Structure 1
Amino acid sequence: MAYDAAALASVTREQIEAGPQNIWRYAALLPTGQDPATRVTLDPGLTPLVSATALAAEVGLRAPLWVKDDSANPTHSFKDRVVSVALTAARELGFTRFACASTGNLANSVAAHAARAGVPSIVFIPGDLEQGKVITTAVYGGELVAIDGSYDDVNRLCGELVETDEFEDTAFVNVNVRPFYAEGSKTLGYEVAEQLGWRIPAQVVVPMASGELLTKIDKAFSELVEIGLVEAPEGGWTVFGAQSAGCNPIATALHNGTDQIIPVKPTGIAKSLNIGDPAAGSYAIEAVTRTGGWMDYADDDEIRDAIQLLARTTGVFAETAGGVTVAVLKKLVASGKLDPDKETVVYNTGEGLKTLDAVAGQVGPTHRIKPSLRGARDAGLLG
């Protein structure tokens, strides 16, 4: 979507700061929801920007490192942002049922937003989804459909369903109202700039599934500069993308010197990133290339280690996508692709409690003792 920058030039920092304590403080920069009465929302956004000094030291950064922690959203992932914008548009357009194809987090968010709005929902998921994400979708009472296939199979089916008479009243957030859905991701760029005192960080590392999130964070920074709310950092900003080794078609294309994405069959533990045929992959490559960035990927063991590293150094428990981002951050620093002397923001897009199986076998044993000082002494807890 394109906006009239001249018309938005009247938007001020003060106007935004006086707005609601959620993504709708940026309503003037979004394509829907200008009337608060139309908004379908759980009030997501303004999630913590966590100073990560200890993590920076561990990975070899000398400049400030921040973790944008979207696990603090209402359904514990960044999807609450995109869903709120998409379903607000859906309501304004007259749709009477909400739906999605999802690898898990989107399903949680659509079901929760529909419940809040009192609108029926139906969500479609791959049959091998983590149980935590299945339960945290079903609890909201909407209809849940598991498909024998990958996310790409689910997404293809939803694209066919939306063309049928039975689903003409249904807004699929990532199909027929996708343009609005995508624009909701921009709020992750706006917020970081505002939380840094209206500055754009020199470097960002973003997890990639479809590639849409990365492109929209880059777009948000460009819009803020264009309408005069911030100045571009000296030398501009650099965007880096992170994928898992089990599903890395975007990073592989970049490594091969092309923007032509070859679809893959996803594997591995980072299921929220398992989109084998990413719709925005070529656009993500363009953004990364234009800003002088790079992409890399991490295997399952590296992801598990990175989840624990992030938790140990920041107190942030990330799902597997966050582990991918931190693991790739380490690789980018080690390879010299990311400048250790420039301020960096990494994005954690979801809560680790949703993907407990990923690290269940990695953490240390629990001490079991008798409820006495002798029991504590026998366990080595006392001298």
Structure 2
Amino acid sequence: MILGYFKNKLWENIVMAKTHLQCRECKKEYEPTFKYVCDECFGPLDVKYNFPTISKDKFKDRESTYWRYFELLPIEDKNNIVSIDAGMTPLVKAEKLGKELGLNNLYIKNDSVNPTFSFKDRPAGVAISKAKEFGLKSVGCASTGNLASATAAHAAKADMPCYIFAPSDIETAKIAQALSYGAEYISVDGTYDDANRIAAQIGDSKGVGVVNINMRSYYVEGSKTLAYEVAEQLDWNVPNHLIVPTGSGAMLNAICKGFEELQTVSLLDNLSSMHIHSAQPHGCAPIVDAFKKNNDKVIPVEQPDTVAKSLAIGDPGDGRYVLKRLKQYNGIAEETNNKEILDAILLLAKTEGIFTEPAGGVSVSVLKKMVEEGKIDKNETTICYVTGNGLKATESIMSVLTKPKVMQADVAKISAVIG
């Protein structure tokens, strides 16, 4: 439904030439207003573009942030952009990890180096820029941790009040980060889905732009820049495999949309050689469960239980669309357990010097399984998405490390243990 608070606002009648909204289900079209579900069938609304003519040379000398793709993003006026210089993160040729796994063309898309240390800077930045364009006075989010920090940081930059709704078991580092940006943090005694429900109701009644709920149509557009950047960093070539850690499913769906839009504007050729795969943690893998049972419907996980807390979304909003994408691009969905996740974190750190949180461990671990099962050829171009920084989840990572022994400040004694 349309948020009641906004029904009579002037921006309902604003027409922006750059975009329009379209229902993902019944295809009904709407003006690009503050609206996120279809009046007819209650399906989600996607942003569609009146694409200009774009050449590869257009992006050559632009800023090294995801805003370099301004023509392909849903902001009408550049003055409304809220940027903390996120995006254009490294695409690392993972030679040592590739050798360990038996892959010659493995790349890590390392979003752990974004300003708030996760990929969430992309969707949060686009959503808050759009909130500014709509004239909203406050923003917020429901979060498993990373989006809290990204939303709070962008809200601070935009000088907008920010409200975070999150389950109470979030890692301490993520809470501290969001609070440091000045956000109002509401810790909910319940699951992420409980926090999401409360955020939706408050967004409706209080007029808060909740980035991943009532701003969702615009929010997801930020994540598609993960496709734009990979394509550009591969000199406008299409990869063969993409391993995507999956919580709500919004990122995977957005990445597919991004590649498809690049094909629409003739920056990429045929996508038939591309396979996209969903990686989830055991203990919260409803998409994997549906995929392996060949079901079209995703059955929610009531009580998620995984070390990968940023993926602990029991009822993934885009779950059934992920299943459609996996069929469309001949991909698979696979899960991995806590031990495998933590082992993969250390493997990535020791081979490539990249320190990821458990969500990145999920994608690396699932990649390892796929190679062992012969599902990826050694010469195929493979992209593994690392979406967050290990500094956000040190408690869980320390659980598999040996705590350093405290030694006396004695050169002789310390020299004796140096090889």
TM-score, structure 2 as length reference: 0.86
2:290 aligns with: 253
Please point out which of 116, 124, 131 is paired with 1:75: 116
* Residue in structure 2 matched with residue 263 of structure 1 by the alignment: 300
Query: Which residue is 2:25 aligned to?
Result: none
Determine the structure 1 residue equivalent to 2:69: 26
Distance 2:289 2:118 in 1: 26
State the alpha-carbon separation in 2 of the partners of residues 252 and 59 from structure 1: 26
Q: 2:51 aligns with which of 4, 8, 20?
A: 8
Q: Structure 1 residue runs of 4+, over 3 Å off? A: 367-373
Give me the whole-angstrom Cα distance separating, in 2, the residues matched to 1:177 and 1:2. 11
Mapped pair 1:44 → 2:44 = no
2:100 paired with 1:58: yes
Q: Secondary structure at the match of 1:297?
A: strand
Distance 1:219 1:339 in 2: 25
Match of 1:317 in 2: 355
Per the TM alignment, residue 181 of structure 1 is displaced from its structure 2 partner at its CA by: 0.5
Which runs of no fewer than 5 residues in structure 1 stay unpaired?
none
Q: CA offsets per residue over residues 59-114 of structure 1, 9 Å max, x none?
A: 232x3100001011110000000011001111111110011100000000111111
3-state SS, counterpart of residue 48 of structure 2: coil
Aligned residues with identical type, % of pairs: 41
SS at 2:139 equivalent: strand
Task: Check conservation: 2:141, 2:151, Cα contact below 8 A.
Answer: yes
Deviation at 1:276, TM superposition (A): 0.4
Q: Is 2:124–2:147's contact at 8 Å kept on the other side of the alignment?
A: yes
Q: What SS does the aligned partner of 2:204 have? A: coil
| Alpha carbons of structure 1 residues 319 and 14: separation in structure 2 relative to 1, 3 Å | same
2:304 counterpart letter in structure 1: P
- State how many pairs are aligned: 373
Q: Which residue of 2 aligns with 1:159?
A: 200
Residue 91 (str. 1) matches residue 136 (str. 2): no
Residue identity matched to 1:65: L
Which residue of 147, 171, 191 corresponds with 1:150? 191
SS of residue matched to 1:68:
strand
Which blocks of at least 5 consecutive residues in structure 2 are unaligned?
Answer: 1-45
Compute the RMSD of aligned alpha carbons: 1.4
- For 1:93 and 1:377, locate their aligned partners in 2 and report how far apart those are by CA, in whole Å: 64
CA distance in 1, matches of 2:363, 2:68: 27
Cα offset, 1:365, TM superposition: 4.2
SS of residue matched to 2:187 = strand
Partner Cα distance (2:414, 2:192) in 1: 49
* Contact 2:66 2:122 survives alignment (8 Å): yes
Give matches, 1:1-383, under 5 Å: 1-4=46-49, 7-32=50-75, 34-61=76-103, 63-164=104-205, 167-168=206-207, 170-232=208-270, 235-264=272-301, 265-366=303-404, 368-379=406-417, 381=418
Shift of 1:226: 1.8
**TM-score normalized with structure 1 length:** 0.94
Q: CA deviation at 1:277?
A: 0.4
Measured against aligned partners, the alpha-carbon deviations of 1:193-222 in whole angstroms (never above 9, x if no partner) come to 111111121110000001111111111111
1:261-285 C-alpha deviation (Å, 9 max, x unpaired): 0000211110000000001011111
Shift of 1:370: 4.2
AA aligned to 1:109 is: A
| One-letter code aligned to 2:90 | P
Q: Give me the whole-angstrom Cα distance separating, in 2, the residues matched to 1:59 and 1:207.
A: 19
